[in-house]
Structure formats: C-alpha cells, structure tokens
Amino acid sequence: MEFGAVFPTCEIGNDPTQIRAWAQAAEDLGYQYIVTYDHVLGAEHAGREPKLTGPYTQDHPFHEPFVLFGFLAGITSSIEFQTSVIILPQRQTVLAAKQAAEVDVLSGGRLRLGVGTGWNHVEYESLGIPWAGRGRLFDEQIELLRRLWTEEIVDVDTSHHRIERAGISPRPQKPIPVWLGGSSEVAMRRAARIGDGFTFASAGKSTVELANQLREMISEEGREPSTFPIEFNMPYGLGPEKWGGLTDQARNASISHLCVNTMSVTSAWSGTPPSGLESADDHIAGLERFITAVT
C-alpha cells in the first residue's frame, strides 16, 4: 500500500517557505504522494437555489493545483502528485491538458490527474460553463485529454470541442493516469468504464463495500479489477486508536493507496473529529505521528 498526504490547502497559509517545509517533510517521512483539492472560487451558501451542499465557502482558501504542483516539483525529488479532484468541466480541456503535461514533464513523470464534476454550481456559472450537461462534457474531456497527451496532431469537431489539426507540445513521455472520485454509482460506473484508478473520500467498512462494488463493475466492463488502483482517505481526527484498524482493513481489502487528511475544515460536514492541528509545523508533526503509527 502506498501512503499519501493531503496538502492542507485551507489551513497552511500562503508563506512559500512553510509550504516548502511541509512538502519536503512529507517526502522525507516516506509518503509516496501528495494530494491536493481544487476550487477556483468559494461561494456564500445562504439563499442559494439549488442549495450548495459541499463543505467549502468563500472563507476557505485553495492553492491552484497545477501551479502548486509546479512549485512543489522544483523543491522535491521523488514524491508524486495527485489532484483529488480537478473539477474538469469547469476548465478548458486543451488548457488543462497543457497544464497537466507541463507539470508531468517538469516533475519527471510524477503527476496523477484525479478529475471529477464537482458540486458547486455557482463556480460553474462564474466560469461561464453550463451546469447542465456537465457529465457528457466530462466523458468527452477525458477522451480528448488522452489524445492530446499521446498524438502529435489532433483533429476534433464535436458539440463541445473543435481542434483543427493541432496539438500540444511538450507531451508527457507516457500517458498521465486519469483517476476519478466520488461514491455514487454513476461515478463508479464511469471509472469502471474509462478510469485508470478511483478515489474514495473515506475509509472503513462501508467504503470497503463500495470498493467491492466498484470491482464488480470493473469486471463487468471486461477489465481486470486486481490491477485497478483504489484509494481510501483517512481523516486524521479519528486518532491513533482507529488509524491502525482502518489501515489494516484497507490492506486486507487490497486497497492500493491510502491518504491522510490532517485538515479540520471538513470535520463538521463529514461527521469526523477535528484534527486539532493549526500551523504548518502542527500538520508536519501530524504526518509524522500518522506514518509512524501505521507503518
């Protein structure tokens, strides 16, 4: 099992020296990858129709994933980078392909692109993207990303994209893995059909059951579930008394990746205890306590 550290984007602040210290500490502690979340805008929740049900508001800062990983690539040497997830339909597909390729090239092939459709319709509207039909756009985007990363010239004319005999350069040396995330049947079936991996935002017995459902879907698509990577997410606030048992449960279920989230910002929303960590040093100490307890 590979262990990842969720970048505490809402709580780490803006000091680049602290961000560098956190990333280098994660690498030195033996974490294999860094996970970061994505929101371009935060929005007030009050008075919205439809309601905004996610955990983040205008008060929660987010470092932009591609820029962040470009910075982290230059100050680390081996740790990998995972978006979990880029809200892909909000972004121009060609530009996202270019940015991801650049991060992958400059990091020496260390990027894993987790993508999803998101929950914040205000963010879509503000970026000029229709909320309706985002699923169909999303499927087309994933196919086009892969073509842009592997083909010198792409020729596409659909309702969402028009590229006339053009391509991006540089391209990654090998295709960037595209992971999907969520817990809905729609998300899992899409991943079984076209994904390279899947992220669950939780851990535990119910998440193991979802992982088994996903593997059944993968088999139904004629793919091999034993080679399909699956990630669980562990809230740090659960504490050492639960870390070990949940990690063993994930190992026994052949889960390939496990990341720990030391942020407290989503605790009330997810119904888990807060981490109690505040400063960058606190989050670094938390990473050390967790990896020591589970390895």
Instruction: Dump the DSSP string for 123-139.
Output: HHHHTT--STTHHHHHH
268 pLDDT above the threshold of 90? no
158 pLDDT above the threshold of 90? yes
Q: pLDDT over 70 for what percent of the chain?
A: 100
Q: pLDDT over 90 for what percent of the chain?
A: 97
pLDDT confidence of 118, banded at 50, 70, 90?
A: very high
Q: Given this model, what pLDDT does residue 186 score?
A: 94
CB 187 within 8 A of CB 181: yes
Q: What is the pLDDT of residues 77-102, one digit of tens each?
A: 999 999 999 999 999 999 999 999 99
Q: Given this model, what pLDDT does residue 237 score?
A: 97
pTM of the predicted model over 0.95:
yes
CB 222 within 8 A of CB 232: no
Q: Which residue has the tokens 């961000």?
A: 19
Mean pLDDT for the stretch of residues 26-41: 97
Q: Given this model, what pLDDT does residue 183 score?
A: 85
CA distance 42 to 128: 15
Mean pLDDT for the stretch of residues 196-218: 97
Q: What are the structure tokens assigned to 71, written together?
A: 């910075």
User: Taking the domains of the chain in order of start, what are their residue ranges?
Assistant: 2-294
Average pLDDT value for the chain: 97
Mean pLDDT for the stretch of residues 39-51: 94
For 2-294, CATH number? 3.20.20.30
Q: Given this model, what pLDDT does residue 178 score?
A: 98
Q: Given this model, what pLDDT does residue 170 score?
A: 98
CA distance 235 to 239: 8
